[in-house]
Structure 1
Amino acid sequence: MTMKWTGGHSSPVLCLNASKDGLVASGAEGGDLMAWGEDGTPLGGTRFQGSDDVSSVVFSHSCPTKLYASHGETISILDVRSLKGCLDHFHVNEEEINCLSLNETENLLASADDSGAIKILDLENKKVSRSLKRHSNICSSVAFRPQRPQSLVSCGLDMQVMLWNLQKARPLWITNLQEDDIEEMEGPHSPGQLLNPALAHSVSVASCGNIFSCGAEDGKVRVFRVTGVKCEQELGFKGHSLGVSHVSFLPESYFLLTGGNDGKIMVWDVNSEIEKKQKSPTKHTHRKKANRATYKQRSNTNASGTEEEENGKISPKLNIEHGEKVNWLLSTKIKGHQNILVADQTSCISVYPLNEFQIQ
């Protein structure tokens, strides 16, 4: 049964985060920021000056009342017990911030913006320690890897996914999602595929730190494994009929939440699917390179190829018809039970209790 948290916002909710003590923060269009109790009661809120959208909120790991929020080009640090005033604020990005990520040791905060840049803010010295500039379009999402406080992944509307180590100013590894799709083709494909570009919207890293996922505009969900300084794509499947707007691993698990512009929310057992692929006799040890001429020839034939057949074997463990375009997904425990919180195009937060769906 779906619950709705209401009374906090009057415009679409864009982002969510939860503290280790169960507090929830939400950011919305027009500069609104709200804090919520476990029962969905609004505890307090503020509206930032300038009415820039609150695009990302992140709780401190060590201090559950400290909150980092991005609005426009600014990062504000607040105490959720008194949201009317800021503890500190920083203006280090040149364009609008899309995503924040805090590393586990809590000394670095990454902020990805519309220019494609990722600023790394040294919180102890209150200054930018790195400026990562490799995305050629909007950098939509960034995430530090758990257990590796100097390593992060990013994605953007340039269709690129990158792995970074902050000891270097350049990425260790880059993949272009659209080019990889062409290279991996082994069967006939629809000529419409290139008309739906793989603009990358969201990344999430599993708690192990070595598995991460990316959701893109082409409706595909991709799962990568980090091996040293490189990554390999373990899975790539059509998860949604429209763009995948947000992906999020459940805490301490390999269950992956995905939300789409098609109004659907799904849960995937990534570990189980990787194991199936590794046991499959059709597993590819090396990617086959197909040139563009070959791709053009294949795309003019009927679409029933290998990738579609393999994708058909991957099905979600849970499929929720949410009905609204998903802006953000969050899995958190409320009163001891795991729940999915959903921000969408409405001013409400939807809550789905996972125990009712028996996801094991």
Structure 2
Amino acid sequence: MEAAASGRLVLNTEDGCLCWFDLRTKDVLLTIEATNKAISSVCFKAGNEDFVYVSAGNEILSFDVRMGSQSKPLETYNYNREEINQIAVSSKGFLAAADDSGDVKIVNTMQKCLYKRLREAHTSICSSVQFIPWRPWTAITGGLDSKLAVWDFSKGRTLFSIDYGSPEMQNRSSSASAGQCLNPAFIHSVAVSEEGGLYKVCAVARGDGAVDVVDLEYELAPAKSKGPSRAGGSAMSSKGTDLGNGSSNQSQQKRILLDYTMGGHTAAVSCVAFSAFGEKGKFLVSGGNDASVKLWDWSKGFSSETNSNSELVLDIDVKKKVNWLCTAPTDSDNLIVCDTSKVVKVYNFP
């Protein structure tokens, strides 16, 4: 599922169809029978909402919406060995595909060839991939090995990684894992804030019910610029950083944790997204297997103001497990939720 700035929503289905909806009228605009396989992911070409990429099985297909319901694939890429879980496209025309082998293939869509293979960071299924918009040669991946990795994909190497399954991280995230001992901190989804936002961060949807928000610029900064470790600091990666619990009264806070102690999820978090409406990125939306959607005013956790805490702004009971969600700005501010029912839910915010 992907929402466009034009007010259109494209849904991918298990029967291989792509469906476009007008978010203003809720009407179906177009249906394309893209493939005979379940579609796992869809994304728009950067700067051109008429052009979409879809993944099905280990294959990536592209379509031009202007060709209508009879549209045929314009491009096909078969570089992934195993089933693709998510695809993403960068402003420079690179396409990333994360698959069940743990690898990520980077395709140059301009030259229509394989550009790089990112491997050895994940030892299990790579569930999610995103490009970092303010660093055009950088991508971020998450996997069911509980690892988050940030890559320089031009060189095919990792810049830093976080292992949420390590004993140290599990001990320091005990508030998130309490009552969730059977749910490891698998990473199900990763979202990256937009370029130009107040904070340059990523949000991580974890299987233990917590959402982690990580200051990427701090992690990507040279180690010498961070200065000596402060008392109470911890190593969340090889470089080290602070750990938070959703609140901060220090200007140096570099990570916040949104968990059940703050009214968060009581089961695995399946997806996260930064808000596209109003002040972009001000809110973080998360959906989970506890059949709830949470709207967080997360940035307060990074504020230097005394007693400034991240807040749970809204809690929606959607009755079914959440598969995916996204936000879109139209005449009203929309939150779109896909759950395990056959109905797509659209919530409007005044």
TM range (shorter): 0.7 to 0.9
Partner of 2:172: 184
Work out the CA distance in 2 between the residues paired with 1:116 and 1:18.
27
Flag the structure with more relative contact order, 1 or 2, with Cα contacts below 8 A and sequence separation at least 6.
Answer: 1
How many residues align? The count is 304
Partner of 1:125: 111
Q: What is the root-mean-square deviation in Å for CA atoms of aligned residues? A: 2.3
Secondary structure of 2:74's match? strand
Partner of 1:22: 7
Secondary structure of 1:273's match? helix
Deviations 1:321-346 (A, max 9, x none): 11111111110023x21100111112
Are 1:255 and 2:276 counterparts?
no
Secondary structure of 2:73's match? strand
**Long gaps (5+) in structure 2:** 222-236, 242-253
Partner of 1:287: none
**Long gaps (5+) in structure 1:** 1-15, 282-312, 356-360
Secondary structure of 2:299's match? helix
Are 1:318 and 2:305 counterparts?
no
Partner of 1:229: 220
* Identity level (%): 30
| Displacement of 1:194 | 4.2
**For the Cα contact (< 8 Å) 2:12–2:40, is it kept in 1?**
yes
Deviations 1:224-278 (A, max 9, x none): 00126267451113120110000001132231000001110111111112226x7
Secondary structure of 2:300's match? helix
Partner of 2:81: 94
Supply the AA of the counterpart residue of 1:225.
D
Task: Report the TM-score when normalising by structure 2.
Answer: 0.81
- The list of structure 1 runs, each at least 4 consecutive aligned residues, that deviate by more than 4 angstroms after superposition, is 230-233, 278-281
Change (3 A) 1:346 1:168: same
The aligned runs of 1:272-283 (5 Å cut-off) are 272-275=300-303, 279=306
**For the Cα contact (< 8 Å) 1:104–1:147, is it kept in 2?**
no
Work out the CA distance in 2 between the residues paired with 1:83 and 1:137.
37
| Displacement of 1:181 | 2.9
**For the Cα contact (< 8 Å) 1:19–1:60, is it kept in 2?**
no
Partner of 1:333: 329
Are 1:43 and 2:29 counterparts?
yes
The aligned runs of 1:1-360 (5 Å cut-off) are 16-38=1-23, 39-49=25-35, 51-81=36-66, 82-84=68-70, 85-105=72-92, 107-133=93-119, 134-179=121-166, 180-184=168-172, 190=178, 193-207=180-194, 208=197, 210-226=200-216, 227=218, 229=220, 232=241, 234-238=255-259, 239-251=264-276, 252-275=280-303, 279=306, 315-334=311-330, 336-355=331-350
Change (3 A) 1:181 1:193: farther
Secondary structure of 1:52's match? coil
Work out the CA distance in 2 between the residues paired with 1:96 and 1:314.
37
Supply the AA of the counterpart residue of 1:184.
R
Partner of 2:248: none
Work out the CA distance in 1 between the residues paired with 2:147 and 2:69.
36
Secondary structure of 2:48's match? coil
Work out the CA distance in 2 between the residues paired with 1:44 and 1:185.
45
Work out the CA distance in 1 between the residues paired with 2:334 and 2:7.
11
